[in-house]
Structure 1
Amino acid sequence: MDTQNLKQRTTRQEPTTTNDESVRGAGQKMKRTMAKRGLKSLSIALTIPVILTLTNIYMFGTSDNYKLFNRPNWVPPIWALHMACLGSASLLCLCGWLVWAEGGFHKNPNIAGLYFGQFGLSLLWDLLMFKLGANWAGLLVAVGVCYGLYQCYRAFKQVSDIAADLVLPCLGWSALLGFISLKFMLN
């Protein structure tokens, strides 16, 4: 037999780019799906607190005492105060979403309690200061919000540095609200 002259039959294989492309396409499709879910959760995380803050401003945000108050230059007009409160709430919602996306609320549920507690106190400030005229209680609430934000900053720092850094302007704003409450109380 001529086994030495026999050659192995080879089949020509096509490059496997179709499999690589399908795997790559599936990965990109999964990334797009996750990005859409992330945008949906971000929009919900921003919408609900902003609507609550706007409702709070609408229901409790006017006061004749504040308009007639002889305020110094560092105390903003009421419209600027409300816009800054809305901006602070939006920024803090973004911080909370960043921590949630990193799994911080699941790892440490106390962070969620701090976050929602300070948000509730910040909503209470308008009611106390403008509707009820309880300036001393407004000062206590502003101090409580500052404390809650500082604790959120410390807890968020363990999860996300960006979220922790975004809490600092909100902390500064709540400190200014505390000074406004003190100024109202002393007059």
Structure 2
Amino acid sequence: MTSTLALLGFFAACFLVACSGAVFRPDAWYEGLAKPRWNPPNWLFAPAWTVLYILIAIAGWLVWREAGFGLPLLVYAVQLVLNAGWSGLFFGMKRPDLAFAELVLLWLSILGCILLFAPISATAAWLMVPYLAWVSFAGALNFAIWQRNPRAA
């Protein structure tokens, strides 16, 4: 029972983080930005993030189950906070420059999770790899948008 409640807690935490993307959404400002040809359509982001948040929640839960709360889950919490902050910086404040800097920290924190999770649960570490890949892509996209729109920053 405790394990099931904990899993629900990890899903709830990821859901709260996802809410930042629901609050700060693409708008007319974003639509007017110059974007690279390889910019995915807006509809792709919600299903991609849904899958990623499920994987992130399960990864955190697996580590909690094996090791409890400690440094790995502290880094996990940091990456969740950074994840939640990106949408506010990019879409809310309309600052692709600050959003990119924050995204670099997010990327590093995800890598930190993977490295800290691996000795505890290889499965948890691997569940974070698609997230790192997506944030790598998002970082390249964020940087490309920032460079194409220097006055937007």
Q: Please state which band the TM-score falls in when normalised by the shorter chain.
A: 0.7 to 0.9
CA distance in structure 2 between the partners assigned to 1:116 and 1:84 by the alignment? 21
Are residues 1:103 and 2:64 paired?
no
Q: Superposition pairs for residues 97-176 of structure 1, below 5 Å?
A: 97-105=61-69, 109-176=70-137
- Using structure 1 for the length normalisation, give the TM-score: 0.72
Considering Cα pairs closer than 8 Å and 6+ residues apart, tell me whether 1 or 2 has the greater RCO: 2
2:21 aligned counterpart, secondary structure:
helix
CA distance in structure 2 between the partners assigned to 1:53 and 1:116 by the alignment? 10
Q: Is the 8 A contact 2:17 2:83 kept in 1?
A: no
Identity %: 24
Are residues 1:57 and 2:21 paired?
yes
- Deviation for aligned residue 1:119: 0.8
Partner of 1:13: none
- Using structure 2 for the length normalisation, give the TM-score: 0.87
CA distance in structure 1 between the partners assigned to 2:95 and 2:105 by the alignment? 15
- Deviation for aligned residue 1:73: 4.0
Partner of 2:151: none
Partner of residue 55 from structure 2, selected from 82, 91, 94: 91
2:38 aligned counterpart, secondary structure:
coil
Counterpart amino acid of residue 41 in structure 1: A
Counterpart amino acid of residue 7 in structure 2: L
Number of residue equivalences: 148
Partner of 1:66: 30
Q: Is the 8 A contact 2:63 2:73 kept in 1?
A: no
CA distance in structure 1 between the partners assigned to 2:72 and 2:47 by the alignment? 26
- Deviation for aligned residue 1:154: 0.5
Cα distance change of structure 1 residues 54 and 156 upon mapping to structure 2, 3 Å threshold: closer
Q: Is the 8 A contact 2:18 2:84 kept in 1?
A: no
CA distance in structure 2 between the partners assigned to 1:61 and 1:145 by the alignment? 19
Q: Is the 8 A contact 1:53 1:86 kept in 2?
A: no
CA distance in structure 2 between the partners assigned to 1:128 and 1:93 by the alignment? 23
- Deviation for aligned residue 1:76: 1.7
5+ residue gaps in structure 1? 1-35
Alpha carbon RMSD of aligned pairs, Å?
Answer: 1.7
CA distance in structure 2 between the partners assigned to 1:145 and 1:185 by the alignment? 17
5+ residue gaps in structure 2? 149-153
CA distance in structure 1 between the partners assigned to 2:33 and 2:54 by the alignment? 28
Greater C-alpha radius of gyration: 1
